[in-house]
Structure 1
Amino acid sequence: MILRHLGRIALLVICGFTGHYLLSQYHLESEIKVKLDAEEPLFTADNIKSTRYNEHGMRSYTLNSIHVKHYQKLDETHFHKPTLWTYNDSTVEEWRIHSDFAVLDSSNYLNMTGHVRIFNLLPNARMAIIKVDKLTLNLTTRDFWSETETEITGVGFQIRGQRAKGNFISHQMELTDQVKSKYAPDIE
C-alpha cells in the first residue's frame, strides 16, 4: 500500500515537473517571437526580373534590378540600378527607363532618382532620349512627371525645361518653366 502511494506521488511529481517545463517553454517561446521592423526589409533579392501583365494577359512592362529590398511595414519595394521596359501591344518595346535607384509604393507609383535616362525604342521616333534626375511614373496609366531639370533630345532638336509631365502611351510630353530649345539638323 505504501508503494502504491509512493508510486502515485512520484507520478504526480513527474507530471508536475513536465507541466512546469512545458509551460515555461511555451512562455519563453512567446516572448522570443520576432516583430517586424520598418527599418529591416522583409526580403531581399539580387538580379531580379519581374514582368507585369494587364487584365487581357498582354505584357505591360518588365522591371529588372541588380538588388531589391521589400519593406512590408512601409509597403515599399526599393530597387538598385533598375531598368524598366514598357511595351506596346505586349510585343513591341516602346520605352527603356534606367536610374540609379527607385521606390515602388503600394499605389503603383515608381519614383526613380539619380541619372534617370529614358530611351524611345520605336523606329522613326522623333523623341530619342530624355534625361532627368528624378521621375515619378504611374505604372498603371503610364503618366509621368518631374520637378527637376529635364532635357529631351530628338531628331534635329534639343529642349530643356525645369519641369516635365507627360504620358508614355500617348507619347505626349510637356516642358514648363524656363524652356530653352535648339533646332539643328545635326543634333541627335
Structure 2
Amino acid sequence: SPAKAEPVYREIKMQVSQSKMVMAFKSDYEDIYTAKLFCMLLGATPFSKLFANVREKMSLCYYCSSAYADRKGTLFIDSGVESCNIEKAKKAIEEQLEAICNGDFTEEELENTKKSLCGGFKSNYDSIYDIMGWYAAQNTRNTAFTPEEINERIAKLTREDIISCAKTFKPDTVFVIRGEEEEDCDE
C-alpha cells in the first residue's frame, strides 16, 4: 500500500504475557542494497542500534529487531515488550532511527554491518537451494547480480549514503498486541 498521510496506530488486547509492537516505516528509496545495509545497522545484528541500545542498555524490550521488505519499500521493527514499556520503547526506537539520520554511528559500526551483510550474501553458496533462491529473487527484480557484485556495491557505500537512505523512511503504522492484564513495571 502507498505510504499513509498520517501514521496509523492500532492496538488489540489478547491473553498474552508479553506484548508485541510492530512499527512500519515506508520509503521509496530506490537502492534496495543501501536500504538493507541501513536496516541491518538499525536493528538486524547483535551490535545494531536497536539491540545495543533499546534492548541491552535501556532494557525496554525482550527483543527488538528490524527487517526490510524490499518489494514493498517497508522497514519493519518488531519488538517484544512489557505493556507498561510500550510508549517508552516506541520513543526509544524512533530515537535510534533519528540517530542514524543524524549520522550518529561509527565507521566501525558501519564496517561491521557491511561485513555481516556481505557474509550473509556469500552464504548463499552454502546450498543449492540458497543460490536458487538468490537468483529467483534477482529474477523478480529483473536483475542478475551475483552475490560478489552486490558485495562490491555494498563495500563502496558511504556514511552519507546510509544517512540519505535513512532520512527517506517515514512512519506508517504501529500495531500493538497488548496483554489483557496490565503489568506493573519496576521503576
Larger RCO: Structure 1 or Structure 2 (Cα < 8 Å, ≥ 6 residues apart)? 2
- TM over 0.5, shorter chain: no
Greater fraction of residues in helix: 2
Identify the structure with the greater strand proportion: 1
State the TM-score bracket (shorter-chain normalisation): under 0.3
TM-score (norm 2): 0.21
Q: Pick the structure with greater CA Rg.
A: 1
